[in-house]
Chain A
Amino acid sequence: MSAIHELTQKNRPGVGLTVAHTAALVGLVLGTGAVMQWVVGPAAGIYPATILRQIGIVAIAAVSLNIVNGYTGQFSIGHAGFVAIGAYAGGAVSFYANSLGWVGAYDPAGLLTPGHAVMLAGAAIGAGAAGAAGYMVGLPSLRLRGDYLAIVTLGFGEIVRVLFQQTQSQVFDPQAARALPISGWWPPPLGGAQGFSSVIPYGELFWIYAALALTVVWCYRLKFSSSGRAFLSIREDEIAARAMGVNLTRYKVRAFVLAAALAGLGGAFYAHLNLAVQPKDAGFQKSFELIIIVVLGGLGSISGVLLAAFGLGGLTEWLRQPTSVWPAALVALALVGVVQAVRRDIDSRARGRAMGRALLVIGVLTGLFEGLRAFAAWQGFKLDDIRIVLYALALISVMLLRPQGLLGTSELWLVPGQLMRRKAKAAAAPSLRTAGPADPAAAPATGVGGMGGGVTEAGGDEGWP
């Protein structure tokens, strides 16, 4: 028996901890939904709440894509295909359940009507269908890397799009739906090229944000688990990963299935928010929107992707009627100042340089934008017209200034800890420059001796050479 197995058997906890974790999960999911539904939604107003719902769905899809593209390092560009499968499945289930008269009339005030139960079941079916599709895409991905995998996944999205175009026309009449023989349901009446419409609006803030919270918590648990480390190891070095016993087949397929299932879940809510699904929702343009978010947020970073999803979603809306950016620029400068002030791993000159750089970048960007606003006012055109150009410029400048994405591979809540550690290191070794490259920082003080430092053994069984 392995040492791990023995240790596992010896320290097996009761179910209490699992119950507590599950209670926390349920609480977080319902709590997020409740806060969005009853606090944020009413405070924001009807139109912003709709935007928030859209962003929430995009965030679900992007966070799930992050499992494949971020954790596992496989470049998939067919994620919208999974979203569309979930959208069609979820939308069709709740539409036909309604027209077959299973759920009663739609009640706009309810949050948990029989219709919602069917909607949730549809979302589960959508997730399952997308997960199955993910399995089929995951299998060929085992033999392909980089560009080749990207082409296969791109092809997958297009295949999904074409398949949905080939479906039968939608049966809108409840009488006709009830009269339809079993054989009439194949090929499925999903609207063909016209798309599937008249989905019942069960996509409330509550459910969308509950689903987002579930996705985020699961992705978090996954990232910081043994399975997550297996994903990350594949991204870092496939050869080393398999030499250490990681079953590449299993984990690549697992990443695809999980990402696809969560995307399908998001897709089901998309159908209930948008009330219509088009074949082009599976196309590569939608996939690229998701990839932009993931790359911008930082491949592998959950909080980074969330930031990017909400930031980009907010940016596109704000650019419709841009206000002055001076206040935001001042806030940004203050934040940079605080961060630079608490850093102790750099001396005052380096701190001054960093502040100067930040001032320059923020100042130039602010000046450019304010100039553009003044120019637009003078010339009498609306910035809304060149919204997409500005959006593209914003993307380009972020990628130039932070090519690793907003948060790199780290997480928001880990950043303070990393800063603290750098501080501790700087305190232990006041000047890193004087230490030789082969000399680990402060070897005698911290007990890091041995081969790296060429220091003799610390004594006893404490340290190995």
Chain B
Amino acid sequence: MSDHTQANHTADHAPGPQPGATDVARALLRAEGIGISFGGLKAVQGLSLAVPPGGLDGLIGPNGAGKTTAFNLLTGVYRAQTGSITLDGRRIDGLRPHQIAKAGMARTFQNIRLFGNLSVLDNVRLGAHVRGRHTLVGTLFRTPAYIAQERAILARARQLLGVFNLLSRADEPAKSLPYGDQRRLEIARALATEPKLLLLDEPAAGMNPQEKRDLARTIQRLRREFGVGVLLIEHDMGLVMDICERITVLDHGEVICHGVPAHVQNDPKVIEAYLGEPG
């Protein structure tokens, strides 16, 4: 399980919000002490994260721990009330979701959110939308710049569909795909935005063991071939322990443990959070 252990991360035992909780020299994503409350409920507080460029990190925790809320904070769906977030050295807290997508963060959703009535191809083409300039004049009069850009988007989308083996279904509505293909299409769509960091929200939910193994390989190939960093939320401990380099554990909105899989696995606080107090 611990074959991804890296020496420079083992020193880090202290949980909690102090800056630089992970000793990564230049983090791709760095969140420091972010938090949000809904009324009296502190959904997430003092969350600090650091994902290195091309890193593959996990965010785990029991149900209701605030994992998806943390994703929503990172992607700008909610505005963080405390703390700061930087992506590739640029402050992104306070930006709106589409600006964060443009800055280089893409995500998938826990309950798949494809554009169901649009074709598989159009879903991916929409992902590439954010990298283009779309003027009304260009669209209505089909200027050379517009034509070139539409061609580029089409070529890029077809290439991505080829990579994910979805090309043969490019013209079908996304909602007609089988579940596993929909999950992969969501990843393809996110990659079309040319992200630096990809957030995957429970990518293995509802998959059988074989599909999960395939997913693990997919994620590892993603980093290799697209050079993206990955931060994933996952309930399947086997998968998380297998592929993640660092894991952050949330419980009741707070970080209770952070470190390499081997460390997290044996932390009494994590075991307590998942199984309840001993005795």
Contact of B117 with A236 in the complex, beta carbons under 8 Å: yes
Which of A233, A258, A446 has most B Cβ within 10 Å?
A: A233
Which single residue of chain A is at the shortest CB-CB distance from B171? A421
Rounded to whole angstroms, the CA-CA distance of A215 and B208 in the bound complex is: 50
Partner of B139, one of A6, A222, A437: A222
**Which residues of B sit under 8 angstroms from A453, Cβ to Cβ?**
178, 180
B131, CB-defined interface residue at 8 Å? yes
Asked if A18 and B149 make an inter-chain contact with CB atoms under 8 angstroms apart, the answer reads no
**Most chain A C-beta atoms within 10 Å of own C-beta, residue among B113, B125, B126, B177:** B126
B179 within 8 A of A: yes
Q: Give A228 to B75 CA distance when docked, in angstroms.
A: 24
Closest A residue by C-beta to B112: A240
Over the window 225-266 of chain A, the binary record of Cβ atoms lying under 8 Å from chain B Cβ atoms (1 yes, 0 no) is 111111011001101111111111000001000100000000
Counting CB contacts under 8 A, is A464 at the interface? yes
Question: How would you classify the secondary structure of chain B's contact residues: helix, strand, loop or mixed?
Answer: helix
| Smallest beta-carbon distance B217→chain A, Å | 5
Select B142's contact among A7, A17, A450, beta carbons within 8 Å.
A17
Q: Are B163 and A464 in contact (CB under 8 A)?
A: yes
Residues A18 and B156 in contact, CB atoms below 8 Å apart: no
Q: How large is the interface on A (under 10, 10 to 19, 20 to 34, 35 or more residues)?
A: 35 or more
- List residues 101-136 of chain B with CB under 8 A from any CB of chain A: 101-102, 106-107, 109, 113-118, 122, 125-132, 134, 136
Smallest CB separation, B181 vs chain A (Å): 4
Across chains A and B, the number of contacting residue pairs, with CB separation under 8 Å, is 209
Instruction: Identify B113's interface contact among A14, A225, A239, A452, CB under 8 A.
Output: A239
Question: Judging by beta carbons under 8 Å apart, are A8 and B132 in contact?
Answer: yes
For residue B141, CB closer than 8 A to chain A, the reply is yes
Give CA–CA (A230, B123) in the complex, Å: 10
Tell me if A221 and B139 are in contact (CB < 8 A): yes
Interface size on B, residues (CB 8 A): 73
Flag B166-189 by CB within 8 Å of A: 1 or 0 each.
101101100001111101100001
Contact with A along B24-61 (1 / 0, CB 8 A): 00000000000000000000000000000000000000
Q: Which residue of A lies closest to B103 (CB)?
A: A245
State whether B125 touches A244 (Cβ < 8 A).
Answer: no
Which chain A residues lie closer than 8 Å to B172 at the CB level?
Answer: 421
B278 proximal to A (CB < 8 A): no
Residue A323 lies at the interface, judged by CB distance under 8 Å to chain B: no
Alpha-carbon distance A232/B174, docked complex (angstroms)? 13
**Of B97, B101, B152, B213, which is within 8 A of A11 by CB?**
B152
Is B90 located at the chain interface by the 8 A CB criterion?
no
Within 8 A of B (CB), among A29-81: none
- Asked whether any CB of chain A lies closer than 8 Å to the CB of B2, the reply is no
What are the residues of chain B within 8 A of A4 when measuring CB–CB?
128, 131-132, 149, 152-153, 156, 194
CB of B131 within 8 A of CB of A3, answer yes
> Which A384-414 residues sit within 8 Å CB-CB of chain B?
409
| Cross-chain contact A7 with B180 (CB below 8 angstroms) | no
Q: B77 at the A/B interface (Cβ < 8 Å)?
A: yes
Neighbouring A residues of B149 by C-beta, 8 Å: 4, 8, 226
**Bound: A237/B189 CA distance, A:** 14
Taking a contact as CB atoms under 8 Å apart, the answer to whether A452 and B177 are in contact is yes
Closest CB of chain B to A329's CB: distance in Å? 32
Instruction: For the A-B complex with A4-B128, A230-B134 known, give 4 more contacts whose Cβ atoms are closer than 8 Å.
Output: A221-B139, A221-B140, A239-B109, A241-B126
Q: List 7 A-B contacts (CB under 8 A).
A: A229-B129, A240-B115, A243-B77, A246-B130, A440-B178, A454-B211, A464-B164
